[in-house]
Structures are given as C-alpha cells and as structure tokens.
Chain A
Amino acid sequence: MNAARLRAGVRMGITCHVASILGTYGFRSPTYFPSPEDATAGNDAMLALCQSEGELVRMMVTVNPNYTTHALFEIERCVLRGAVGIKLLASRRADDKLLDPICELAAQSRVPLLHHIWQHRRREWPNQEISDGADLARLARRHPRVTFILAHIGGGGDYLHTFAAIRDVKNVVADTSGSGVDRGMLDEAVSALGSQRLLWGSDLTMETGLAKLRALEHTGLSSEDDVRDIRWRNAARVFGLGSPRTENAPAPKAPPRTARR
C-alpha cells in the first residue's frame, strides 16, 4: 500500500505526503476507536516511515480522545519527533469537551488538528461516532488559536451542508480528499470558503485526487494563484512546511489512450 501510494505520488508530482496510520486498521481494535496500544503502534510505524522517507513523508499523530492521558502523552512524544499535526478519527463527537485538552495542547504545540468528518450527520453510522461540520465548528469556536482541518469534503455525505456550517468559522480549513468527485463540489468549496481555506488531499483514492487537481484549473473561480494555494501553499502554511524544491504540478496529461495502441 505504501509503495503504491509513493509510486502514484511520483506520477502526480506530490512532493510531500502528510499521512497518518489509524492504529491497526481494525486488526486488533476498531479503526475509528483505536486502543491506546494500537494508536501507539500506528504512530510508531508512521515515525519509522518518516525516518526512512525523509522530507517526502510527514506525519500526523493519531489519538483516541477517550484516553486523554495517553492522547496527550502521544501527541507530545510524536510532535517532539517531528509530527506536523494531530489526527482525530471518529472516536468521540467533535464538540465534546473531552477534546478540549487536546485542542489546548495543539495550540501550545502550534500544530493543526485534522478531524475525520461525515458531511451532514443525519443519523448514527456503525463503527464510528461521527461528527459533521457543525460539530467541528462548535469546537473551533472554543479554540480560536487552533487551525482545524475538516477532513475530506469528498469523503461522503453532503458537502454543501459542511460549507454552510463552517463558512464563517475562519480557523477551519477543509481538505478536498475522498472518493467523491461530484461536479460542482470544488466550485462550491472555493465559493464558500475561498481558495486559502482549501487543502488538496487524496485520502484512499489517489485517482480522485488527481482528477480534482486537474479539475481545479477548470472551475472558472480559481486564478493561477488560487490553484497554487490549494495545491500546496495552504498546506505548507498550515503544517509549517517549507516550499517544495520544485513546485508540484499536476501530472502531465497522458497522450490520448487510443493513440497509444
């Protein structure tokens, strides 16, 4: 999986993968409710990957806020070793006060907090305690010094609800990742949030990431500068990364497939 991601990343022009490992992905504890031991194991694996890949891979430290002491310890441990953000899954509703000490540590450590989000929570879903944009907005209002990354507007659910929920909460930025490639989604995102509050991402489907990268240029709303912001500049700012040595551009278009045969 990691090799496939890095292979596709080279093709796409990705100069830095900001990633996390979600415990044991359900092998020993549920993916979205990782046990402390599994969260640590995933973070250790991520630290090792960062070490082997250098600047190409940066990590977010994954924690389960139901284990507050462990979560705080884990954040301190991994930030000291180079983690550039905190990853919260769906182990606890985003506006729960249990998240407050984690947010305070994020502010103190000056790292952003990425929260797994379901776009428009209309009911409970199995295997996760889902949150939506409105839930995250309440948390973000309580912690104005923290930058919150609302995960994957293409990751399922009604992104239009999300845009309305976070439009006026300026310390929430959104990432474009997820398998959803609805036409109009990017236009609406740029229109509601502006190009400086959007981070490009891929999640588990890199082809949808590449499609969005290519589509950005055709939204009709983004100037070249706006596109550059979404491609990398916003991420570099939010995660405190340097500029890429060569600016990442979308993969060159392949020749028409019929011509190759």
Chain B
Amino acid sequence: MIDVNALIGPYPFRFLPHPDPEVLERVLDREQLSGAWVGHLPSAFYRDPAAGNAQLYTALEPHGTRLRPVPTVRPDWPEWERALKVAHDAGAPAVRAYPQLWQLGAGDARMAELAVACGESRLALILTVRFEDMRQRHPLDVAGDLQAAAVRALARAGDRVRIVVTAAGRDFIEEVHWGLTPEEQRRVVWDFSWVWGPPEDHLAKLFRSVGSDRFVFGTQWPLRLTQNPRANLDLLPPDVADAPLADPEHLFSEGKSVSV
C-alpha cells in the first residue's frame, strides 16, 4: 500500500519531530507501507515554490522509487508550465497545489488550466483541505480550508483530470461527490486521513455510499500519526472490512476501474 499524503520539511506554525525522508522510510517499514508520494511542506507557504521543489528532488534522490516526489506547482506564477514539465521528467506521480493558500477561489481559470495540464501529462493533482484542525491554528494562519466548490470545479475541467483530495471529512466528500456526474466522480479519489471511524462510522458509510474504490491510503505524515488511517481500516464493520481501495498508481488506467 502507498501513502499518497506524506510530506517532508518543517511546518511554520508548530514544531514537527523529525520531518525527514530517512525517518519517513523507517515509518513506512514499521507500518508495512510499500512507498509514499512525498511533498515538501514548506513549499506550501513559499510564494515561489521552485526552491522548495529543488530541495524536495534532492532530498528524495537517495530514496529511489520508494519515496516519489510530489512537487508544488502554482499556476498563477510565471513558468509554472516549466515546473510541471520538470515534475513529469522527474517521475513525479502527481503535483500539489494549494489554491486556498494562494487566494485562488473556486472556479479560478488558472487552477482549471493546471488541472487539465496535469491530466495531459498523466500527473494527478493533489489538493489539501487542511493541515491542522481549525481550532488550533496560529493567529497568522487565516487562509481557511479548501472549499468543496473548488474540487467540484476542477473535476469538471476536463476528462483527463485526476484529483486526489487529502484531509477531507465526510461532509466535504459527500458535498463534492453528489455534486458531480458519475463520469466526473471517477476523476476524484480521496484519502481518508481525516474521516471519522466508529462509533459514527463515517468511513464505513462512505465506503457503502460513495464506494471504497474512490479512496486511497494517506497519512499526512509528519503532521499526523501514521497509525490513524490503518486504525480506521482495522475498525471497519464486517460488511466493508475487506472493501478494496483504489490503487493510486492506476489513476489514469483508461477505461478501467481504478480498483486493485
């Protein structure tokens, strides 16, 4: 299983212990995960993410294909197309974008252009609903969560678009899913790092309604405990306990289900 929602590097608003690729590899071993798609956390807050992307490629180079780079591409910044090509050439499976941090509202044409360009390059676009609980944020951290409308708009941008939404809760997922056509729904997968388990059983309800094959495994390491999504799977009720997840490596399989 692959963790699609891992990051390296420090976080500006609180101390993170050991946010380093060497530690991440040990965590993957411990959690029996085969690999991770890895972003660079500080780049989310850089005006120009280019230097952060360079740091990411360098930091992950010794880790081969187990830690795959997911650089940040900001579509309102000059030469973003070049950054996208570099990502593709570097073997990135996806790129990250943070429209809420860049004040690009739902329906922003530049984000749609990025989503389409990613799809043409067979790169998934990773969106992050939040890094931290709203209630604990630093007074300077005022950007707010990603809006569900932003995901709906991007899912409608083109048939080659593939979006991985991380750190969404049940309400957000349902608002997007049921606001899309079945064809558009197939362009979006979700990590369940922020979805509640029992006793409310949000994850089980989503597996039954939205389908487990719309979900991928993600942890949001180093911000959150890696054990959490695994614990959520382990506590699923019997009827969905063995429901298959989507395989993030096959998001672009034409005409096929993304399920493994």
Is the pair B223, A183 in contact by a Cβ cutoff of 8 Å? yes
Is residue B52 within 8 Å, beta carbon to beta carbon, of the partner chain? no
Is the pair A211, B225 in contact by a Cβ cutoff of 8 Å? yes
When distances are taken between beta carbons in the complex, the residues of chain A under 8 Å from B260 are: 258, 261
A-B contact number at CB 8 A: 113
Contact partner of B231 among A7, A159, A214, CB < 8 A?
Answer: A214
Is residue A242 within 8 Å, beta carbon to beta carbon, of the partner chain? no
When distances are taken between beta carbons in the complex, the residues of chain A under 8 Å from B237 are: 4, 7
Is the pair A257, B1 in contact by a Cβ cutoff of 8 Å? yes
Contact partner of B198 among A5, A211, A212, A261, CB < 8 A?
Answer: A5
When distances are taken between beta carbons in the complex, the residues of chain A under 8 Å from B231 are: 207-208, 210-211, 214
Q: Tell me the nearest residue of chain A to B221, going by C-beta.
A: A183
When distances are taken between beta carbons in the complex, the residues of chain B under 8 Å from A122 are: 139
Complex Cα–Cα for A120 and B17 (A): 22
Complex Cα–Cα for A122 and B199 (A): 30
The answer to whether residues A206 and B227 also contact, given A11-B235, A183-B221 and a CB cut-off of 8 A, is: no
Is residue A156 within 8 Å, beta carbon to beta carbon, of the partner chain? yes
Is residue B228 within 8 Å, beta carbon to beta carbon, of the partner chain? yes
Is the pair B228, A211 in contact by a Cβ cutoff of 8 Å? yes
When distances are taken between beta carbons in the complex, the residues of chain B under 8 Å from A7 are: 198, 237
Q: Tell me the nearest residue of chain A to B192, going by C-beta.
A: A207
Q: How far is the CB of B142 from chain A (nearest CB, A)?
A: 13
Number of A residues with CB within 8 Å of any CB on chain B = 43
Q: Which residues 161-209 in B have Cβ within 8 Å of A in the complex?
A: 196-201, 203
Is residue B108 within 8 Å, beta carbon to beta carbon, of the partner chain? no
Q: How far is the CB of A214 from chain B (nearest CB, A)?
A: 4
Bits for A194-223, please: 1 = Cβ < 8 Å to B, else 0: 000000000011111011101100100000
Number of B residues with CB within 8 Å of any CB on chain A = 39
Is the pair B228, A180 in contact by a Cβ cutoff of 8 Å? no
The answer to whether residues A205 and B233 also contact, given A118-B135, A257-B1 and a CB cut-off of 8 A, is: no
Is the pair B234, A5 in contact by a Cβ cutoff of 8 Å? no
Q: Tell me the nearest residue of chain A to B169, going by C-beta.
A: A179
When distances are taken between beta carbons in the complex, the residues of chain A under 8 Å from B221 are: 183
The answer to whether residues A207 and B235 also contact, given A118-B135, A183-B224, A257-B245 and a CB cut-off of 8 A, is: yes
Is residue B253 within 8 Å, beta carbon to beta carbon, of the partner chain? no
Bits for B5-42, please: 1 = Cβ < 8 Å to A, else 0: 00000000011110000000000001010100000000
Q: Which residues 203-259 in A have Cβ within 8 Å of B in the complex?
A: 204-208, 210-212, 214-215, 218, 251, 253-254, 256-258
When distances are taken between beta carbons in the complex, the residues of chain B under 8 Å from A253 are: 230, 234
Is the pair A210, B16 in contact by a Cβ cutoff of 8 Å? no
Is the pair B196, A181 in contact by a Cβ cutoff of 8 Å? no
Complex Cα–Cα for A97 and B139 (A): 31
Is the pair A183, B222 in contact by a Cβ cutoff of 8 Å? yes
Is residue B103 within 8 Å, beta carbon to beta carbon, of the partner chain? no
- In order of increasing CB-CB distance, the 6 nearest A-B pairs are A207-B197, A156-B135, A210-B231, A8-B198, A5-B199, A211-B228
Q: 18 additional contacts, CB 8 Å, given A181-B224, A183-B16, A204-B199?
A: A118-B135, A179-B133, A179-B196, A181-B225, A181-B227, A182-B14, A182-B223, A183-B222, A187-B17, A204-B200, A206-B197, A207-B228, A212-B225, A212-B227, A256-B32, A257-B217, A261-B242, A261-B244
23 contacts between A and B (CB under 8 A): A4-B199, A7-B237, A11-B235, A119-B136, A156-B135, A159-B136, A180-B133, A181-B224, A182-B132, A182-B224, A183-B225, A207-B197, A207-B198, A208-B197, A208-B231, A210-B227, A210-B235, A211-B228, A212-B227, A214-B231, A251-B234, A253-B230, A261-B244
Residues of B within 8 A of A (CB): 1, 14-17, 30, 32, 34, 132-133, 135-136, 139, 196-201, 203, 217, 221-225, 227-228, 230-235, 237, 242, 244-245, 260
